[in-house]
Amino acid sequence: MKLRISIIITFITIAIFGFKLNNEKRSDPEKEKVLLEIVKYVVERGHYSSIQIDDDLSLKIFDDFINKLDPQKRFFTISDIKELDRFKYKIDDQIKAYDLEFFEEIHDRYRSRIAEAKIFVEKTFENNFDFNDKEYIDLDIDSIPFSTDKNQLYERWRKQIKYSILDIISQKNSSDSIDDNEVMMNAISTVKKNTNDFFNYANEIERDDWFSVFLNSFVGQFDPHTFYFKPDDKEKFDVSISGNFDGIGARLSKADGNVKIVDVIIGGPVWKDKLLDVGDIILAVGQADQEPISIFGMKLDDSIKLIKGPAGTTVTLRIKKLDGQIKDVKIKRDVVELKETFAKSTLISKNSKNYGYISLPKFYADFDNYKNRNSANDVKNEIIKLKNNGIKGLILDLRNNGGGSLQTVVEMTGLFIEKGPIVQVKSVGNRKKILYDRDAQVYWNGPLVLLINEMSASASEIISAALQDYNRAIIIGSEKSFGKGTVQNIVDLNRFISNSDYDMGAIKVTTDIFYRINGESVQLEGVESDIVIPDSYMYVFDGERDEKNPIKWDKIGPATYTKWQSYDDKFKYVTDQMNRKLNQNIIINNIYQRANWIKSQQNINNIPLNLVEYKKYQKDQKLKASQFDKISKYENQLNFELLKTEKTFIQENKELLEERIKWHKNLSKDIFIDQAVNTLDLLDSSIKTNYILAENKTE
């Protein structure tokens, strides 16, 4: 599949875009036209399904771009929309001609509307807020129209600000009247600060950022997973896939013009040398021995660019400590691993039996050094460690795992089966191929459970579907997974130009559909769990079906494969028994009731802005929510233990030990894991019973 997309890229570069961009500084519009031309060509030629660039598409782009710019309808008025209506059926023609008139006009208008709103909001805080008035705020943004005029628009802002202030007051004040002036002033001050931060952030957003939004309103019409990355976003995507980056190992945020350290990443340079603390403010940044330059007021992304750099280089940070002390700190950058991305395991003990648990948040791979770090290899190593602890069954947790590398999921599935097909892939032109596990070695051949939920997507669905079709694993979780049955490839757009100072970014384009080995697609339908455990938000979220422009479901012929013979009809017995028990489980029924209640709350949109009525509304909400306290207080009574190979290392490191204790505490409140262990226990007992019966029959 990689080879095929490379061939397409090469063809496009030679045949179509043989032009060069001069190295001299060019205007943004010129770069944008070139970028639009390249993006248009790539999605038209490289996307799995074709769509017509016509009036219908133009209207969809128009609506989508306006919604992306002003989703809460706080800037544009109806008159703005009417004046922009002349572009409704012209955007398709402008895209074909690489004309930016629509983008230019809406961008300029939007910037001016933000400036106008900022002035009004500042005046709003100069007035008194009357919390005795009987008025309401409508939070159903999707159904309310744009404001008829600026007075109505500003009235929406006033109500939103009042609602935010009221919410803080009601939490701090137990009475039905505002008799504490300090509480009110603090609430107003907090909301004012948050609002100023919002406008400061809006002012930092540059034209390139808005143009990438426009491009995504275009390419997003092909399907919801085709996406343009501006250069900075492409770098962030690479970090999320590989799980590592070169830098100092600290997470940063911005407030009041200052860049603040909000987290220190365990294992990074800052953590190793105890150089910085959470709460420290970075005043200035210098490269190596250069004098640091101030970053106050600088865009956060630009500040991060100065702080990050190649491993082995040095950066000097001028730091203001919490005690007010100012000092320069030299930090040698290094490769920082985001350990929360990586697979990790723990031992679970119950009834004198040990079970293994592996958490896998993402299917990651460092393609620059694939053998060194990828999720398949890491999971294999965790399995080996768990086997050395004498486990009777294994849980692989794929909940909230949105997918990742296709290569790693094929390799990972092969850890649990002998040779055979893993997934079928259909590409542009209905070309089909089957991806196989060709390694006969099985790293875990015992009882296996996979945990999924509505956010388990893509690669998570490939492994779940394959192991389900092989009758190799029991799937436990939400009724079904996300339902993303498409494959994307990243296309570096800089390949299409030469001799340019511009970085064009990249595009993630849907190139293939994947199918289960039984021939069915998971697109829209997802993977259905064998044992269903409800989720509190199961009735308000429907995965891929909730996305715009999803590709339709279909099916192809099955691959040739042999089911895992070890369990025969044991899976059916175990799943029937577990589902019967869950139907009688008090906590499970409580979750179903909470899910129905949350669904009913989606229809409550008019919120009172009168203090007495608002406190009554909140009291009613809390009273109803308290009926589900059993869910939050639930503990599964399982014992979570460190593995033999990691016990000494973790216990000798305070931060790592605290992190692991916190993780184990969260696992102890997880009903999914409890039921997974019960399933493994029942399956193990069923296997032993059959083995004893078979021995007796032989005798």
Which residues are marked as active site? 458, 469, 484
| Beta-bridge mates of residue 532 | 477
The one-letter amino acid at 409? V
Residue 576's DSSP bridge partners are none
DSSP string, 243-279: SEEEE-SEEEEEETTEEEEEEE-TTSHHHHHT---TT
How far, in Å, CA of 290 to CA of 316, rounded? 8
Return the ∠ at Cα 488 (arms to 235 and 90), rounded to 5°. 90
> In terms of Cα–Cα distance, which of 140, 160, 156 is closest to 148?
156
φ/ψ of residue 263, rounded to 5:
-160, 145
Distance CA 41, CA 50 (A): 12
Q: What is the DSSP letter of 324?
A: S
- What is the rounded end-to-end Cα distance, in angstroms, of the chain? 55
Instruction: Answer for the pair 502, 31: CB distance below 8 angstroms, yes or no.
Output: yes
Residue in 2, 40, 61, 35 with CA at minimum distance from that of residue 488:
2
Angle between helices 150-172 and 101-124 (to 10 degrees): 50
Q: Which two tokens stand for residue 268?
A: 């990074």
Q: What's the rounded Cα separation, in Å, for the pair 683 and 379?
A: 23
Q: Which two tokens stand for residue 40?
A: 């248009």
What is the Cα 140 distance to its own chain's centre? Answer: 24
- Report d(CA 293, CA 469) in Å as an integer: 59
Asked if 439 and 496 count as a contact pair (C-beta separation under 8 A), the reply is: no
CA–CA dist 560, 44 (Å, integer): 34
Q: Which residue bears the tokens 């949350």?
A: 598
Q: What radius of gyration do the chain's Cα atoms show?
A: 28
